[in-house]
């Protein structure tokens, strides 16, 4: 996969150095052989908390080093347990008379290396306790359960009680209680890819893996890609069955495993809020990336069964910014929308000629929608046609509500419609044009001049002018022709000439074209200008 790195073998070392621009953190001086991140302000008077494991799960574990959470994090290479020497070095560096608690995720390498380091530390006279976290319930009770994102709950709550001066036995007891009352399960579209090369995807496009391991290990089962409400229901029901306690209250961590977009994570949170499990959930942590798996496109739910003691530890404030404060689970609140002025406040009046012209213009925008979208896709985001077509459909639907016998009021009504019904900058600009035209028409009742005056207001706010490759290149020559009492035919010809001129404009400071490489613009007319010209050309045909 493409990555923003120098060399794969240097990534962990360089990532840790990047983290250490935070002046509250430090590293042991045998770095990088010993990759230990620790508090810069630690005085060893309280129980130290040490955790860690393979890198690639950032912000875990080093991101949780700080007051109220971990004292030190021992970092291995990507998905590789740190060495015994590294763990032992961390213990010795931070442990005073109060002792040290090692928090270990339930993987063979971590259990062995952290366990042996603990034994060696004890032999050297250090007080060391261990807690092993095995929160992944995906594979069932008969399999050694893996330690995944639920480990962060242990960091948080044990860290709080260590910070307020609890002794080692008390902190270890609380940590074990958190571990025993935490259950996690993950869902993913893809396994993660290593920095050393792309591996063949295990999952098909229409498949999701339930219980995928955070190192890319196969999950419990492959299931069909379903709407997220259904996928969340499947995952949540497994956690419900695990606890099987209708009276329990829970805290839930919604964890991004790598590359799920923020908007999708919010959809996942919304889907969770609709589950039976959510009715027993008091607090939500996230959605956020707390324990990732490189670029895995997946998420996990970690559920903590609360007691009063665990709730207190969960809600305490801490220093590490990687921790996302738990918030009460609530349903979306609403506040009464301020009463806006009526969209169409004027008395309905009829004028068949005006109605015919508006209908022709609107139908043209609707007819050319796909053509303009395709043209816009070459130099923009492909929605220019859709914007005008959407407003046109609304105008046609509400044509019988317009004050068609009053030109000023009609112009203002169309401006109001663009303001509320059209998206993007083009909708706002067209609203300014029509409202400006309405104001001018009231003083100088001549349509061509009013439209030209409205265009000047648009130019004032938008900044673009003729030659900047926008719809103005078509509208200004057309409106000038109408203001000078030329015919609609002459206006359409002038508009076409302006539109064709945009094919030669490859550098501009305004409009969407200002973001596009010059070589992609040459020979392609501006989509907005093309749309305006087609409307005028079709109007010529309809008015013959």
Report the catalytic residues: 215
Phi, psi of 162, deg, nearest 5: -65, -40
SS (H, E, C) 19-58: HCCCCCEEECCCCCCCCEEEECCCCCCCCEEEEEEEECCC
Closest CA to 536 of 465, 462, 486, 469: 486
72-78 sheet: strands from edge to edge: 25-27, 36-39, 72-78, 48-55, 100-105, 128-133
Q: CB burial class (10 A; 0-12, 13-18, 19+) of residue 334?
A: exposed
d(C-alpha 116, C-alpha 120), whole Å: 6
d(C-alpha 376, C-alpha 370), whole Å: 10
d(C-alpha 15, C-alpha 4), whole Å: 11
d(C-alpha 221, C-alpha 240), whole Å: 18
Q: What is the DSSP letter of 384?
A: H
List the beta strands (DSSP E) in 404-536: none
Cα angle 500, 502, 507 (rounded to 5 degrees) comes to 160
Question: Which tokens go with 323?
Answer: 């921790």
Provide DSSP, 207-269: EEEET--TTS---SEEEE---HHHHHHHHHHHHHHHH--TT--EEEEEEE-B---HHHHHHHH
d(C-alpha 88, C-alpha 481), whole Å: 84
Cα angle 323, 328, 334 (rounded to 5 degrees) comes to 120
d(C-alpha 158, C-alpha 172), whole Å: 7
d(C-alpha 104, C-alpha 244), whole Å: 26
Q: CB burial class (10 A; 0-12, 13-18, 19+) of residue 170?
A: middle
**Cβ contacts of 429 within 8 Å, gap of 6 or more:** 458, 461, 462, 471
Query: Is residue 187 helix, strand or coil?
Result: strand
Closest CA to 252 of 306, 297, 206, 298: 306
């Amino acid at each position: 996969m493409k990555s923003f790195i120098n060399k794969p073998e240097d990534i962990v070392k360089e990532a840790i150095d990047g983290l250490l621009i935070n002046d509250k953190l430090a590293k042991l001086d045998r770095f990088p052989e010993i990759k230990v991140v620790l508090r810069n302000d630690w005085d060893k008077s309280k129980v130290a908390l040490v955790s860690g494991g393979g890198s690639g799960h950032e912000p875990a574990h080093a991101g949780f080093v700080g007051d109220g959470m971990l004292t030190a994090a021992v970092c291995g290479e990507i998905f590789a347990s740190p060495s015994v020497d590294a763990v032992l070095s961390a213990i010795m560096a931070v442990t005073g008379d109060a002792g040290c608690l090692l928090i270990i995720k339930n993987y063979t390498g971590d259990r062995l290396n952290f366990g042996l380091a603990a034994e060696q530390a004890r032999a050297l006279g250090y007080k060391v306790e261990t807690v092993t976290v095995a929160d992944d319930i995906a594979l069932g009770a008969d399999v050694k359960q893996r330690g995944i994102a639920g480990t962060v709950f242990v960091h948080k709550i044990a860290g709080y009680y260590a910070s307020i001066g609890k002794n080692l036995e008390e902190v270890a007891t609380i940590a074990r209680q958190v571990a025993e009352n935490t259950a996690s399960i993950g869902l993913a579209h893809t396994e993660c890819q290593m920095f050393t090369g792309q591996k063949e995807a295990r999952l098909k496009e229409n498949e999701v893996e339930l219980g995928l391991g955070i190192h890319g290990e196969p999950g419990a089962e492959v299931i069909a890609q379903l709407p997220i409400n259904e996928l969340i229901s499947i995952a949540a029901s497994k956690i419900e069955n695990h606890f099987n306690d209708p009276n329990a209250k829970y805290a839930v961590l919604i964890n991004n495993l790598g590359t799920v977009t923020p908007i999708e994570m919010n959809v996942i949170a919304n889907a969770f809020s609709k589950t039976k499990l959510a009715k027993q959930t008091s607090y939500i942590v996230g959605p956020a990336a707390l324990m990732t798996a490189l670029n895995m496109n997946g998420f996990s739910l970690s559920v903590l069964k609360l007691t009063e003691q665990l709730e207190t530890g969960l809600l305490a404030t801490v220093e590490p910014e990687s921790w996302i404060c738990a918030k009460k689970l609530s349903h979306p609140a609403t506040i009464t929308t301020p009463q806006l002025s009526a969209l169409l406040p004027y008395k309905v009046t009829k004028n068949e000629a005006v109605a015919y012209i508006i209908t022709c213009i609107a139908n043209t925008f609707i007819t050319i929608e796909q053509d303009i979208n395709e043209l816009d896709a070459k130099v923009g985001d492909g929605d220019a046609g859709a914007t005008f077509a959407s407003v046109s459909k609304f105008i046609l639907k509400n044509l019988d509500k317009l004050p068609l016998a009053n030109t000023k009021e009609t112009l203002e009504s169309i401006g109001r419609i663009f303001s509320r019904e059209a998206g993007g900058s083009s909708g706002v600009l067209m609203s300014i044009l029509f409202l400006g035209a309405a104001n001018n028409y009231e003083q100088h009742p001549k349509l061509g001049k009013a439209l030209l005056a409205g265009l000047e207001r648009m130019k004032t706010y938008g900044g673009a002018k003729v030659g900047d490759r926008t719809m103005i290149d078509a509208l200004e020559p057309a409106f000038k022709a109408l203001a000078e009492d030329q015919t609609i035919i002459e206006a359409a010809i002038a508009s076409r000439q302006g539109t064709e001129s945009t094919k030669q404009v490859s550098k501009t400071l305004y409009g969407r074209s200002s973001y596009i490489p010059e070589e992609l613009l040459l020979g392609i007319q501006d989509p907005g200008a093309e749309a305006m010209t087609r409307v005028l050309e079709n109007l010529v045909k309809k008015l013959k």
